[in-house]
């Protein structure tokens, strides 16, 4: 029995998120069913990030144990033809028997894609959140800097979430513009529920001049979800990569 | 009665192309129905390019006549909310009464998107053609140069097409690489049926070293469709813009 790690990419549009549940099809469920079929044994993956319904990934991580004789790095090529076109295993490799994708220190990078133009192109509608009013990208960049560091980020946590502590470390928040697209990149060692989507909603308010960049310091200090911006839609969010430290 | 010109963008995935027909919904049909509803008179658009099923557009052009009192440049904002999310009017303006989008000299720019990686990302699957084997972009660039000029392009015309002449002028063929994406840009003053998709299929064969770049000269001289590459899928093709000369 060996432990394998997969890097998994998916278009989340048609899934009820990562984690198996009763009221809709999930990425985890499709992976379990497909791996079990191809490897001819019952496979149960452990995911690194239980992304929400509609969120996409370039680099989520899953591990599983198997008796397969397929070489580790070939598993992706063996399994991909049996997966639906909106899920792909980008890489497969063997890891230590006790490697757990959530209990090892890691750094996650998320990207949030905003399409910022008065009339958005139809082919961008599935993978970005559309903001019609021109955003001040420089103000957003400045505001992002106040979010970096170890803080109590209660203001950026969905009210319904149940967690022991709302202290988290954000390593970097970058905002870049590429034509009509504005991309918010957030890197951190663990995130609260909906945190990247609320961070982006807050940066959009700064970009609209609803408040100045430095007001972000007060929002964080308030620990009040109501002070921050809205939770922007899932379809603009991509889990880019998970680096194990 | 005035004549108006629209720049129309669409995600062609869910349409049976531009032109109205009996066996599926088309862009033209949706525009006619929506414009008629919003402007409260019967509208019939004339399209510049009757794109095929599944082909996308950033800048197709349509004209129509109307008695509307909505200012020309506001028509797009009045109509867009009533269009499905995969069709958008990017611009509306008044033109001369006798302007016809197909009978005026124009230059069209198409882009064909190839996703060139061993395992393609799921979110690219709807808008690009996936080629797994690495392509030689420099060879494709060189081959493209042999396609520029006024030639009998019978070799790049779908066999079933009925046209008076297969002589056309191609102004430019450029191939650029952006990460895993290879974009073929073709500019010309009118194209034969499936021409850009066959040009791209031929460039892919060059990129795979099936034949050297200069063999394109012989393919063109042969006037034989069977000598050229395959017709690549519609989903990678974008009608970028139409410039009226």
Residues A36-56: pLDDT tens digits?
A: 999 999 999 999 999 999 999
Chain B residues within 8 A of A179 when measuring between CB atoms: none
The answer on pLDDT for B170 being more than 80 is yes
Q: Between chains, do A58 and B121 touch, taking CB under 8 Å as contact?
A: yes
pTM above 0.95, yes or no: no
> What is d(CA B53, CA B25) in angstroms, rounded to the nearest whole number?
10
The answer on pLDDT for B39 being more than 90 is yes
Could you say which of B52, B98, B172, B224 is catalytic?
B52
Q: Which residues of A touch B (CB under 8 A)?
A: 9-11, 56, 58, 76, 80, 85-90, 119-123, 125-127, 238
pLDDT the model gives residue A159 = 80
The answer on pLDDT for A161 being more than 90 is no
The residues of A annotated as belonging to the active site are: 52
Q: What is the mean pLDDT of chain A?
A: 95
pLDDT tens, B122-165?
Answer: 888 889 999 999 999 999 999 999 999 999 999 999 987 788 89
Chain A: nearest CA to B227, how far in angstroms?
31
Terminal C-alpha separation, chain A: 25
Q: Between chains, do A119 and B56 touch, taking CB under 8 Å as contact?
A: no
Q: Between chains, do A11 and B125 touch, taking CB under 8 Å as contact?
A: yes
> What is d(CA B241, CA B109) in angstroms, rounded to the nearest whole number?
5
The answer on pLDDT for A210 being more than 90 is yes
Does ipTM top 0.90? no
Chain A: nearest CA to B87, how far in angstroms?
6
> What is d(CA A244, CA A11) in angstroms, rounded to the nearest whole number?
23
Terminal C-alpha separation, chain B: 25
Q: Between chains, do A119 and B76 touch, taking CB under 8 Å as contact?
A: yes
Give me the residues paired with residue A54 across strands. none
Q: What b/e readout covers A16-35, taking b as 16+ CB neighbours within 10 angstroms?
A: bbbebeeeeebbbbbbbebb
Chain B residues within 8 A of A119 when measuring between CB atoms: 76, 80, 88-90
Interface test with A, best of B123, B233, B238 (most A CBs within 10 A): B123
Q: Between chains, do B125 and A86 touch, taking CB under 8 Å as contact?
A: yes
pLDDT the model gives residue A120 = 81
Q: Which residue of B has its CA nearest to A78?
A: B119
pLDDT tens, A128-142?
Answer: 999 999 999 999 999
Cβ–Cβ under 8 Å, residues B3 and B101: no
pLDDT (mean) for A183-194: 95
pLDDT band at A245 (very low <50, low <70, confident <90, very high): confident
> What is d(CA A218, CA A143) in angstroms, rounded to the nearest whole number?
11
Cβ–Cβ under 8 Å, residues A111 and A188: no
Interface test with B, best of A122, A128, A235, A237 (most B CBs within 10 A): A122
pLDDT the model gives residue B5 = 98
Chain B residues within 8 A of A120 when measuring between CB atoms: 88
Cβ–Cβ under 8 Å, residues A110 and A170: no
pLDDT tens, A122-131?
Answer: 888 889 999 9
The CB density around residue B75, as the number of other CB atoms within 10 Å, is 23
Give me the residues paired with residue B7 across strands. B61, B91
Q: What is the DSSP letter of A164?
A: S
> What is d(CA B116, CA B128) in angstroms, rounded to the nearest whole number?
9
Cβ–Cβ under 8 Å, residues A208 and A26: no
């Amino acid at each position: 029995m060996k432990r394998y790690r997969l890097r998994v990419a998916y278009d989340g549009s048609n899934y009820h998120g990562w984690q198996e549940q009763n009221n809709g099809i999930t990425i985890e469920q499709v992976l379990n069913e497909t791996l079990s079929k191809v490897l001819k044994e019952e496979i149960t993956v452990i995911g690194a990030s239980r992304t929400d319904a509609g969120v996409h990934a370039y680099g989520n991580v899953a591990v599983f144990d198997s008796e397969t004789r397929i070489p580790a790095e070939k598993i992706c090529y063996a399994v991909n033809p049996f997966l639906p076109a909106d899920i792909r295993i980008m890489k497969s490799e063997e890891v230590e028997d006790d490697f757990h994708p959530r209990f090892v220190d890691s750094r996650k990078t998320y990207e949030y894609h905003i399409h910022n133009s008065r009339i958005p192109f139809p082919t961008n509608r599935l993978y970005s959140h559309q903001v019609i009013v021109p955003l001040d990208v420089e103000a957003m960049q400045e505001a992002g800097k106040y979010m970096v560091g170890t803080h109590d980020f209660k203001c950026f946590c969905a009210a319904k979430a149940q967690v022991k502590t709302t202290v988290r470390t954000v390593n970097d928040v970058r905002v870049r513009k590429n034509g009509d697209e504005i991309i918010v990149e957030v890197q951190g060692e663990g995130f609260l529920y909906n945190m990247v989507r609320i961070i982006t909603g807050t940066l959009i308010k700064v970009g609209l001049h609803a408040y100045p960049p430095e007001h972000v310091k007060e929002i964080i200090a308030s620990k009040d979800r109501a002070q921050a911006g809205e939770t922007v839609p899932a379809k603009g969010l991509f889990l880019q990569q998970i680096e194990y430290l």
